[in-house]
Every structure is written in C-alpha cells, then in structure tokens.
Amino acid sequence: MSHEFFERHQSLLERAQAAAAERGYWSPFAESPSPRHYGETAGDDGRAAFEALRGKPFPLALTGAQGSVGGEQSPYGFALDISYPQVPVASLVQNAGRALEQWRRAGPRAWVGVALEILARLNRRSFEIAHAVQHTTGQGFMMAFQAGGPHAQDRGVEAVAYAWQEMARIPGVALWEKPQGKHDPIKMEKRFTIVPRGVALVIGCSTFPTWNGYPGLFASLATGNTVIVKPHPGAILPLAITVQVAREVLAEAGFDADVVQLAAHPAGDDTAQRLAQDPAVKIVDFTGSSVNGNWLEQHARQAQVYTEKAGVNQVIVDSTDDLKGMARNLAFSLALYSGQMCTAPQNIYVPRGGIATADGHASFDEVAAALGAALQKLCADPAKAVELTGAIQNEGIAARIEQARGLGLPVVADSQALEHPQFAGARVRTPLLLRAEAGNPAIAQEWFGPIAFVVATDSTAHSIDLARDSVVRHGALSLAAYTTDERVA
C-alpha cells in the first residue's frame, strides 16, 4: 500500500521538485476556503467536526497511555474541554524504537508515499484544522485556515520533496570496476542503504503549531525516522488531529502506527527536557523562545538540533515617497495577529531630525503621528479589526502590554481592548506603540505580542548600526527598510 501511495502522489512530487528547482510559486493545495476548491459543505462539515471534539476525550489510541491530560482554553473566551491520552516518556521512546525496526526497512519510496498521503488527507480536513488552530492560537479564521491548513501542508510537501531529492541521488546498486592493465579488472558490486538517524522529536509552539511543526515532522518521516510530536500544552488539538491522520495512514499501509506518536503533557512539567535528552532521540525540531532553544542546543548533545528562536525584528525608515502608504503598511504589520508572528516588526528606527517624503520634510513627530493615526484607523471598526488582530494567545502576552505601558515612555498609540462580535469573551487587544530613544534598554529585548517602539536615532547610519548590533546580539527573523535613496538601499 505504501508504494501505491507513492505512485498516487508521484506527479505531485515531481512538480514539487520542479518548483524547488525553479524557486517559483506553486502549491498543490488551494489557499482559499472556497466551496469551489473544497466542496459545498466543507465549511459546515469542518465546523461540525471541531465542535464534535469539544467536551470529550480526543479519539486517539496510543500505546502505553496512562491517564489523560488537557486544559486548552480558546483565546476567544471558552474552554475546549478536550482530554488527550498521556504516554510516559519512557514508553514513547520505547514505542518509537520498536516501530523504527520495520519502518526503516521500508525504504524511501514507502516513507515518501506515506508522508504525501498523510498531507493529502490533512488537506481534506483543512476546515476542521482551521477551527482547531483558531481556538488554540487566537488567529483569525482566515489566517488559521491558510497558515494552519494549506500553507502548513505546502511546507510539509516542500520538506518531503527535498528529502526525496537527496535520497534519490543515492544509487541502490553500483558496479565499481578498476582496470589492472594486462590483468583482469578489480570489480565490486556496491549496495547502498539509506539509514535513518532514529527517533525524531518535534516540539510545537503555541502560535503556529502546524505551520512551524510540519517541516520537521515531514522531513523526519520522509527520511525514515519515527517521530514523537510534543505539542505546546496550550495548542494540542491541531497536532493531535495531525497525529491521528498520520497513524491512520501508517496502519492502512501496514506499518506500526507508533511511527508517529503524540506526547501531550501538562504545562510546566519536564516532558520536553526528558525527551530531548533521551539517548535514543537523534533529531530535535523546535520553535519557540530563545531561552528554551538555547537550552536544547546546549543539553541535547546526542541529537541533531534544529531551532527557530525569537529575535528583535526591526524597520529602518530613511525616506519615503508615500508617508501615508508606509504608515498603513507598518500599521498592518503591527496589527496582524496582534504581533504574535515571528516576523512581526518591533523597533522602527526614524532619524530624530525627520525624513524626506514626496510632500517635503516630515519631522520625527510627524512620522510617529502618521503611524499612530494609521493604527487607530485600522482598528477603528472592531468587527473588521478582530479579523486582522485575532486574539491574544495567553494571559502572559496580555500582561506584557501592561508591563510595556509601565516603562513610562510616551504613548504614540495606546492598546485598546476590542469586543468581538461573535465571541464575547475574546481576549482582543490593539497594538501599543511607544516612543523611545535609541539608548533605551527596553528596545534591546523582544516584547512578544502587540508592542512596538518608534525609536529616535541620530541618523540613518545610526539606525543601520543599531539594527546590525541588535541582530548580532539578539537575532532577528525580519528586517525592513524604507528609502528613496539608492545609495542607502
């Protein structure tokens, strides 16, 4: 059956490889939640499937489960009240090791075929996953559908395509022959077997569990490793659905379903640390805070560790031919998912003496005021704004807004609580935009959430120096610049 899966998805795999080589856009999955792509009843069916999961144990049979765990709270104001089977760390590792023996012998065509079939079936459940993502992360529905569904699945396909591309380079059999002059040549028949590293651990995050989780999950699966998926305790459901689908496909293909397992656990325990340091775990994929990522890099020494950590994202403003347009664009970036994206800007550097615009010189205060006005206009209609901002994932992020207010910096745009028209208890906040001087220590740390600073610098050169120093010291995932001067660009 696994080879049937490979043949079923071979054309998709070939197209994905071509797209990877061309570096152009291609996706096998529609990003629009339109009935034209997913069927007339897909939206209602997905919502009903999500609602049917609430208030009961999640339907997932795991080997060696002892009790259950749960406690997810929707950022939109209600408890999911879903419990998940909990498997002890030792049992998870033992199960993964046992399943590895059969799985590793299956070979690349089986690994890749199974991985692609899982992704295809996940795509058919995109609406259900969207609701699961929305009500664990706080994303607005459209973002939850796209980023949690087809875009995450795209990333899974990409990982599988690159894995297949590398494995396909290795011949199964090669004849080595060396001439020996008048004597018979020396001949060797060489046989090559691709050997997985072993047990892989995927550590999920609370804001983009599938988008950040699928690359590592499917890269490991497609290269013959067994995978333990450890979701964030606040966002278990999207990855539980993923594991459920994976185990169904594995069993259907004749493999031990424990090739993929769910490691649900209570918040605050040491499950992640114990799994990451287990000698059998050879790959760790992590998305989250720098503190936890650094710990993994330092302590999971037996494993190949891949981390996506936090940083301080920055914008350098030198000049612009459209001040209002620039302000609208930055306001959108600040408000999108309430600044809870890894690429959300935080520090916006503007020369203290102002900038050149198409309408003449604009002072620092005028640039800051334009940003504040754009934010206020963007969030003026709560019914529309909440679709952009989503909700705050947890109380810790909401508390951070108050902490930033307590810095005593001048407020350019204050954070406001918005009422969601569908969910009365939703935790919705607009961005807090503060003014800071370049030397203020507050800008030298990450303020995850809807918090940003307009920073007064001595010059554009000073802004560039600050950005460079911040990247070296604290890292960053995005950097933007606005200028009309080619020499600056």
Could you give the C-alpha distances from 301 to 224, 274, 289, 295, 404, in angstroms and in order? 21, 13, 19, 10, 37
| Three-class SS state of 295 | helix
Predicted local confidence at residue 489, as pLDDT: 80
Please state which of the ranges 120-124, 138-142, 185-189, 330-334 shows the lowest mean pLDDT: 185-189
Average pLDDT over residues 222-242: 99
pLDDT at residue 2 is higher than 80 = no
pLDDT class for 3, splitting at 50, 70, 90? confident
Predicted local confidence at residue 302, as pLDDT: 98
Rounded Cα–Cα distance for residues 158 and 18 (Å): 11
Average pLDDT over residues 226-241: 99
Fold of domain 314-482: Aldehyde Dehydrogenase; Chain A, domain 2 (3.40.309)
Average pLDDT over residues 41-63: 98
Tell which residue, 446, 457, 453, has the closest CA to residue 431: 453
CB contact at 8 A, 374 and 328: yes
| Residue partners of 484: CB distance under 8 A and separation at least 6 | 318, 319, 320, 321, 356
Average pLDDT in the chain: 97
Kindly state the DSSP code that residue 321 receives in the 8-state scheme: S
| Three-class SS state of 240 | helix
Rounded Cα–Cα distance for residues 344 and 408 (Å): 23
Tell which residue, 166, 171, 167, 132, has the closest CA to residue 148: 132
Rounded Cα–Cα distance for residues 125 and 153 (Å): 11
| Three-class SS state of 143 | helix
H-helix or E-strand spanning residue 303 = none
The two three-digit tokens of residue 477, written as one number: 């995932």
Q: What is the pLDDT of residues 69-126, one digit of tens each?
A: 999 999 999 999 999 999 999 999 999 999 999 999 999 999 999 999 999 999 999 9
| Three-class SS state of 440 | coil
The two three-digit tokens of residue 396, written as one number: 């810790």
pLDDT at residue 210 is higher than 80 = yes
417, β-bridge pairs: 429
Average pLDDT over residues 145-173: 97
Could you give the C-alpha distances from 362 to 350, 351, 357, 366, 484, in angstroms and in order? 11, 10, 7, 6, 14
Fold of domain 1-174+192-308: Aldehyde Dehydrogenase; Chain A, domain 1 (3.40.605)
CB contact at 8 A, 253 and 110: yes
Domain residue limits, the chain: 1-174+192-308, 314-482
Compute the C-alpha angle 133/136/139, nearest 5°.
Answer: 60
Write down the pTM of the prediction.
0.95
Share of the chain above pLDDT 90, in %: 98
Could you give the C-alpha distances from 50 to 233, 256, 280, in angstroms and in order? 18, 27, 35
Q: What is the pLDDT of residues 255-287, one digit of tens each?
A: 999 999 999 999 999 999 999 999 999 999 999
